[in-house]
Amino acid sequence: MRNKALAKLEPLLGEWEYTMYNSWFLESMETKIKGSTVIERLHDSFVVIRNTSADKKPEDIWVIGYSDPQDKYQMFYHDQRGVARIFNMTFNGKRLLFWREDKDFYQRITIDITVDGLHSVAEASEDKGKTWRKDLEMAHKKI
């Protein structure tokens, strides 16, 4: 049986090309990184997002699920550095919002569905959400 909450994410499914930019941790704010993203269903229970850099190195994987009893989405994240995190998530039909408030620092990621594709912004806070720094932006175009 298909999970109705995850079915709402179907506009995201497919193959995408991305450009990462405005990132403080790259050589400069003008540096652009290209890659690809695949967003697909895993059975009827999860949505999986896999990001791969242009040189075919796996970057990260996100697994989105929905808890019926808790009436909420959650996303499990893992990247090539070995970092693993759990994010809460909401979706209003046009914007996904992911956030975590852990003891190391807070993070939030927004992904907007636009007429041109997807636009995402990742931010972090070292002071429990009082101030935020932008980590990166990404633009996705469907292939």
Topology of domain 4-142 in CATH is Lipocalin (2.40.128)
How buried is 143 (Cβ within 10 angstroms: 0-12 exposed, 13-18 middle, 19+ buried)? exposed
Calculate the average pLDDT of the chain: 93
Residue 3 pLDDT level (bands cut at 50, 70, 90): confident
Of 3 and 41, more confident = 41
What is the per-residue pLDDT across 5-26, written as a single tens digit (0 to 9) for each? 999 999 999 999 999 999 988 8
pTM assigned to the model: 0.91
C-beta of residue 139 within 8 angstroms of C-beta of residue 19 = yes
Domain boundaries, the chain: 4-142
C-beta of residue 34 within 8 angstroms of C-beta of residue 140 = no
